[in-house]
Amino acid sequence: MPLSLEQKFEKMKSIRDRLLSFRKSPLYRYRVENKYFPVVGEGSHNAHIMFIGEAPGKTEAETAKPFCGRSGKVLDEMLDSIKLARKDVYVTNIVKDRPPENRDPTPEEIKLYSPFLDEQIDIIQPKVIATLGRFSMVYILELLKYKNPINSISEMRGKELVCEASFGQVIVVPLYHPAVALYNGSNKGTLLDDFKILKKYV
């Protein structure tokens, strides 16, 4: 059942409040020691397209905003390329606290934080979920019980995969993480091409 904007706001606020005191996470002490914040997410609670990354980096943890560092600039450029305003989408990560040294999230961390993401998906009820990176691709396709084999991100990227959520059909579009464009400039063209698929859902 669709929620009102006010209900969505209250539910997102509840997620934020629980994350602030999420002491059972092994990342909680690291957050407190470094005066970081949990990064809940940002954007429209009525978004048709939801972007899901892996975990926040240093700039994100310092500001509580997702994708606001160098990778975020790449994401903004990709959104501009299809004339999509960031305020009209919702951007978040599976893991809501920064792992040390920007390492990959562990299976334990994904298991601990993913229920918050599951709630966010049910709150927003997007038509499209664009996963950013292999961790979010695998998690979302498993969550939504994608019926076909889950191959490498290089094979799956840029495809429209039809899945079913509790609130109806969702199209999952796996994308490379924007950071790949920072490490290898040739990947930027691939990202730009893959982003064009989202244009029809704007």
Structure tokens at 90: 């919702």
* pTM summary value: 0.96
Per-residue model confidence (pLDDT) at position 180: 86
Nearest Cα neighbor of 141 from 163, 118, 108, 113 is 163
Q: Residue 55: pLDDT above 80? A: yes
- Taking 80 as the threshold, does the pLDDT of residue 52 lie above it? yes
* 14 pLDDT more than 80: yes
Task: Report the distance separating Cα 2 and Cα 169, nearest Å.
Answer: 14
**Mean pLDDT score, 57-73:** 94
The two structure tokens encoding residue 92: 């978040």
Domain at 5-201: CATH code: 3.40.470.10
Give the per-residue pLDDT at 171: 98
Check: CB of residue 27 under 8 Å from CB of residue 98. Answer: yes
Report the pLDDT value the prediction gives residue 188, as an integer from 0 to 100. 87
Who contacts 75 (Cβ-Cβ below 8 Å, separation ≥6)?
Answer: 51, 67, 91, 132, 178
The chain-wide mean pLDDT, for the chain, equals 95
Looking at residue 187, its pLDDT comes to: 84
Residue in this structure with the two tokens 């989202």, named with its chain if needed: 198
Every domain of the chain and the residues it spans: 5-201
pLDDT, one tens digit per residue, over 149-191 is 999 999 999 999 999 999 999 999 999 999 888 877 778 889 9
**Residue that is written with structure tokens 């209900």 in the block:** 7
pLDDT attached to residue 120: 98
